[in-house]
Each structure stands twice: as C-alpha cells, then as structure tokens.
Structure 1
Amino acid sequence: MLYSVCFYAKRTDVVLLDTYSTSNFYYAVLVSQLCRFLSLPYIPILHGGNLPNRLHTSPKMCGLLFKHATYLVSPSLYLLGVFEKLGFERVVYIPNSLQLEQFTFQEKTYDTIRLLWVRSFSHIYNPTLAVRVLKRLQDAGYSCELCMVGPDTGDGSFQATEKLASDLDVTVRFTGKLPKTEWLALATHYNIFINTTNFDNMPVSVIEAMALGLPVVSTDVGGMPYLIDDGDTGLLVPVDDAVAFEEAILRLVGDVAVTRDMAVRARGLVEGFDWEVVKAAWFEVLS
C-alpha cells in the first residue's frame, strides 16, 4: 500500500483508502500520513464494523487518520452517525455499490434448508455460530446443509470452525475464497443467507445476497438494522444466539409466501445500491 502511493503519487489526484478496524487500521494510518507528507488528498472509506470501538481505544491514531482527510465516506448511516456524534466533519454517506445486472433474482424453494455463509474467517465474524445453528436444526429433525465461503485470516477461527463441525459430527462445505462469478453461481443452490457477526457495518456479501433473492438472517449489530428492517426485508437476531437463529430460520421456511415477499422487498431496497445510482454521489465528492 505504501509502495503504491509512492509509485503513483505524481499521477494521482486523490487516494481512496479502505479503512477497517483490525490490523488493516494500522496500514490505513501509515498510508494517510504518507499522503500528508506527499501533499496528496485522501479519503478514508469506513468499512470496519468495530471502528466505533477503535475511535475510543486509539484516539490519537484516529485523529491522525481521520481529521486530516478531505472527506470521510461512510457506506452506512450507522457509522455516519457515530463519527458525526464524535465531532468529525465532512462525513458523507455513500452506500456500498454493486452492478445489479450481475445479480439475477431467484425465487427460492424450501423443501430442505440450505444455509449459505459468506465472510472471511475471523473471530469478530463468529463463524462457529453457523455450525452450532446447523447442529440445532439437524438435531431437531430438519434436513439442513451449510456452505461457508471465505478465506482463512489466520487468527485460528477457521481451524476452530472445522474442529467444531467435527466434534458435533456435522458436515460443512468449506470452499475457501471464491471469485465473484463462482460464488454467485454457488448461491443459486442455497435458500437462506446467515450473517453471524459480532460487529458489522454494511457488508457487501449481505447486500449481494439480498440482490440474489436469498432471505437474510443476521445478528442485530452495528449497521445491520440500518440495512435490514426486521421482519420486512430480513430478520435480525441477538448476537451469538443459536436458538434465535434457529427460530428465525424456521420462521422463514414455515411461511414461504411471506418469505418470498420479504425477499422481493429486499431486492427492491438494494436496487438503490446499483452503481448507476451510487456513482453520482462519488462524482460529487471527487469533484
């Protein structure tokens, strides 16, 4: 990241700096200070669902990173409110975008429960919860399967998830990280998307699932209630609550007509995130 800034500095008008809340945060701080040294305007894009905590635990570094930025772009109204409340100025809401033509809406059937989880394997995303939910559903007598898509971040959570699946004697399909085209094709075989995170902002994977017609059950954290209207465009449940996840999933499969209407409303919502709509906001900021 630092090399790229130096290499492209003379050909660059502004640096867009994806900013997360864990180890990437430190890279973002370093890049921002290099931009200041090179007199390059930079715009942090606030992705990290745990950034509110980072604002409190690393106030000096947050000051270096955020207070000298040209703008702060927040993909969620949740982080927009957090940053404005703490006195940060020039915070602009621009949602994560997708190219909607890539996402074919598909009506789902629910003869069996086919769960899809898409995220990097990290403790903050609580991947083991997905395995516990699978176990509860199978123990209750439901035909259920689980596919987990995403890379191993190296914090031990992938190994813990594999071990739990083995200990509970359930079969989980682990695909690793997939190119967009492959996971879009994979998603056609599943009928419910689960988002198990302990912290979140405005995850692209959830937006994409909604675009595909997958009803979403998510933890009620961070920016999720700003994206999902509980009971209308998806279902929200408490953090780390396998029982609540099980009940929400059974609610979806128990009333297929209501679930299909929910999926249609979710698709209508995310149509507002199409790049053809969102790019106007970016043009305004960059100009």
Structure 2
Amino acid sequence: MSVPMSGQAINAGRGTGHVLLVGPLPPPAGGMANQCEQLLRLLRAEGLEVRHLRTNPPYQPAWVGRIPMLRAAVRLFGYLLAARRALRGARVVHIMANSGWAWHLFVLPVAQLALAARVPLIINYRGGLADEFLSEGPAHVRRLLARADLRVTPSGFLQRVFAKHGLSADVIPNIIDLSRFQPRMPREFGAAPVLLVARNLEPIYDNATAIRAFAALRRHFAQARLIVAGEGPELARLQALSAELGLAQAVEFAGRIANADMPALYQRADCVLNASTVDNMPISILEAFASGVPVVSTAAGGIPDLVEHGRSGLLVPIGDAAAMAAAALSVLSDTALARQLRGAGLQEAARYDWAAVRPLWLGAYECLARGVSPAGSAA
C-alpha cells in the first residue's frame, strides 16, 4: 500500500471529490463516537476534504426522541436523505461499523448506495461481538463485508475473527492524541489511593466486579476511593451494590465525562480498573497508558493484544473480583512494578499516536481513490 505525504496527495489524484466518513459523534461519548470525532478532525488538519454523515444526529424537534417507533422512522428517513446527498462526488466511503441494529440501520443502507454508485467502500468494523454477529447474523452481513473494497479492524483480535469467517482485513489501530495527555507523576497516596473505572455502565463492562474488587482492596487501603466515570442502565444497580458493600461514601459515580475532560480525570488516578467481559481495543486503556497510570484489566477479547501481562499492565480472568483486587494491590504496594508498568504503557501509547496511524489511513484512501486494491482487501 503506497503512503501519501499528506491529504493533498489524495485530493490531487484522479478526478475530484471527497472522503465520506460515516459514524457517530459525541454526545453521548463512547469509543466509536470519540474515534470518529478525532479522525474527522485529524484528517481535515491534513488537508483532506472529508464530509461527515452522522449516524446519531439529535432529533429535530427534540420531542420526537421520546417516542420509540416515531424516532426510529424519523431518524432513518433523514439519514437516508442525508446519505444520498453526501455520496454525490465521493471518492471513498469509510463507514465505522458495529453489530446489531446499528449495522442494519446505518451500515447496510449507505454501503449498498456506495456499491451501487461504484464508490470504493471501506467498512471499519469495531465491535467486540464480531464473532457472534458473523456466526448468528443474517447471511447478507457476510456477503456485504465480502463486497467491501477494504475491511479494516482496529486490532489483531478482530482480524483473526474475520479470518475465521473467511474474510481478510487490514489492521489500522485506534488513535490516541498524545498532545492531550500528560504522564502523571507518581505520588505518595498513603492509605488513600484513587482508582478509576472509565467504562459506561452496561452489563458487558461488568463494573460490578470492579466495585467488588475495590471493596476487597479497601481492607488494605482504608481510605481508598473509586471514581466510576460513565453512564448507562446499570447505574441504580451499581449504586445499590456500593451501598450494600459499605462503599457509598467511597465510590463516586461521576456520570458522563466530556472527552475534553478525560485527561484531567486520569491525573487523579493511581490505578485504572477494567472489568469488561467483551472487548476489542478499549480507548480507556490507551488513555491510561498515555497518562502514565497503571492498568489492571480482564483478558477479554482483544485486550491481551493491547496489554502485555506483567509488562504494560496486569491481566486477570473475567469476573474474578479477588484476582482483580490482588493485582491492584500489587500495583499500589510495589513502586518498582508500578514504575515499570507506567514506562511500558507510555511506550505502548506511542504506537497509537496520529503520527504512527496517519500513514495507514492516508495510504488506504490513496489506494482506493486511485483504483488500486489495498493488500488486505481480498475475501
């Protein structure tokens, strides 16, 4: 795959036109929305002409969003009209994709329009449930993926899942903007370390296990505090669990934190806990690395591709609160171990800076805009 020096190299290629980037934007904040917002900004800064088709625009008028069937119809109708307009003159269509209803509502229609118009198509699949979706979903999901000019996943984990289903994919990792994060200096926390969970409050992230691990850790650090940054349907259950464990005053449910405010949150943390049961390449772990905060995580999905146990973080079995507590205790009690994890995490974060990821995306766009098949595109 050839690599352009800048976005102008693509714009100056055969014909005129733009890259159409399809995906969500915050709010609400989330991995894919934050990545889409960041990629859009960085590509435009490269001088590339990029138009954006938002998959989660606010409802107009706002009251439509309170009526389930109506809001789905209104959003889909408006989305299809916007997609037709945005496709005019596009040289490459890049769709950020996930599984479930989001695939059928937002990926399928635009992908079919792009294929019908013979516009080169990138499907950038990012869901941790890829294996289940490809195994149990309708056959047209696999057929559509096979017709894409390029399939991109952010991790080797998803690349292996695709290969299991007879589909090749290129790996272009998630991006961390290192200019936003400053490595925190180790501090003397005594009996009062601060732990951080930066995942939404959804069942797949199993924040209950992180809270139980924190309860066990408090036996060693009596004044320890836990910040849970995220929102979701599990809030009431997690608050009740904290109260049941006697942690009501020790656990802070911070709610949704704006992406711009996340660096300051990591500056408060001495250790990050991640208890997810399904995962791909969590941005929260990359952000912890970039902030110099040691990470204790489950080994779910693609996390072992990102975190090397004992070098850049500590990995524990899914659902094992005792193992998570023991790992966190090691990090907080052993300054040499914490220092080593910080250093390795910072080195790992550098691999996902825009300077490292930039040539991969620009190279993919340039190949497709010039009618060259990128290396990983054959089914």
TM-score between the two structures when normalised by the length of structure 1: 0.92
Contact 1:113 1:144 in 2 (8 A): yes
Q: State the distance in 2 between where 1:275 and 1:142 align.
A: 41
The aligned residue for residue 129 of structure 1 is 209
Which amino acid is 1:62 matched to? Answer: V
Q: Is the 8 A contact 1:113 1:142 kept in 2?
A: no
- The answer on whether the counterparts of 2:182 and 2:263 sit within 8 Å (CA) in structure 1 is no
8 Å CA contact 1:234, 1:262 repeated in 2: yes
Question: Aligned Cα RMSD in Å?
Answer: 1.8
Task: State the Cα distance separating 1:115 from its structure 2 match.
Answer: 1.0
- Paired with 2:243 and 2:144, the residues of 1 have a C-alpha distance of 43
Question: Aligned partners of 1:29 and 1:160: how far apart in 2?
Answer: 35
How far apart, in 1, do the equivalents of 2:226 and 2:113 lie?
A: 44
1:250 pairs with 2:329: yes
Q: 2:259 is matched by which residue type in structure 1?
A: K
Aligned residue type for 1:258: L
**Contact 1:97 1:275 (C-alpha < 8 Å) held by counterparts:** yes
Unaligned runs of 5+ in 2: 1-54, 56-78, 367-379
The worse-fitting range, judged by mean Cα deviation, of 13-22 and 142-151 is: 13-22
**Cα 1:141/1:280, change in 2 over 3 Å:** closer
Instruction: Tell me, yes or no, if structure 1 residue 189 matches structure 2 residue 261.
Output: no
Secondary structure at the counterpart of residue 273 of structure 1: coil
Mapped pair 1:14 → 2:113: no
TM-score, normalised to structure 2, is 0.70
Query: Which residue pairs with 1:157 in the alignment?
Result: 234
C-alpha distance in 1 between matches for 2:113 and 2:350: 37
CA contact (8 A) 1:149 1:175 kept: yes
Find the counterpart in structure 1 of residue 195 from structure 2. Answer: 115
The 8 Å contact of residues 253 and 259 in structure 1, kept in 2 or not, is answered as yes
Per the alignment, do residues 217 and 25 of structure 1 end up closer, same or farther by CA in structure 2, a change over 3 Å counting?
farther
Q: Secondary structure of 2:228's partner?
A: strand
Task: Work out the CA distance in 1 between the residues paired with 2:114 and 2:200.
Answer: 29
Shift of 1:140: 4.9
Task: State percent identity of aligned pairs.
Answer: 29
* Distance in 1 of aligned mates of 2:178 and 2:125: 22
Alignment equivalent of 2:247, drawn from 161, 170, 175: 170
Q: Distance in 2 between matches of 1:158 and 1:21?
A: 24
Residues matched between the structures, number? 283
- 3-state DSSP class of the match of 1:231? coil
Tell me how far apart the structure 1 counterparts of residues 207 and 93 of structure 2 sit (CA, whole Å).
Answer: 33
The counterpart of 1:29, out of the listed 108, 116, 131, is: 108
Amino acid at match of 2:236: Q
Task: Tell me which of 249, 259, 262 is aligned to 1:180.
Answer: 259
Seen in structure 2, the aligned counterparts of structure 1 residues 15 and 85 have a Cα distance that, compared at 3 Å, is same
Per-residue deviation, 1:36: 3.0
Change (3 A) 1:11 1:118: farther
Question: How far does the alpha carbon of each residue in 1:167-188 deviate from its partner, in whole angstroms, 9 at most, with x for none?
Answer: 3231321222222221211211
* Structure 2: distance between partners of 1:92 and 1:35: 20
| 1:103 correspondence with 2:181 | yes
| Superimposed CA distance per residue, residues 3-33 of structure 1 (whole angstroms, 9 cap, x where no aligned partner) | 4422311142222222223443333234323
**Structure 2 Cα separation of the partners of residues 213 and 141 of structure 1:** 21
- Structure 1 residue ranges without an equivalent (≥5): none
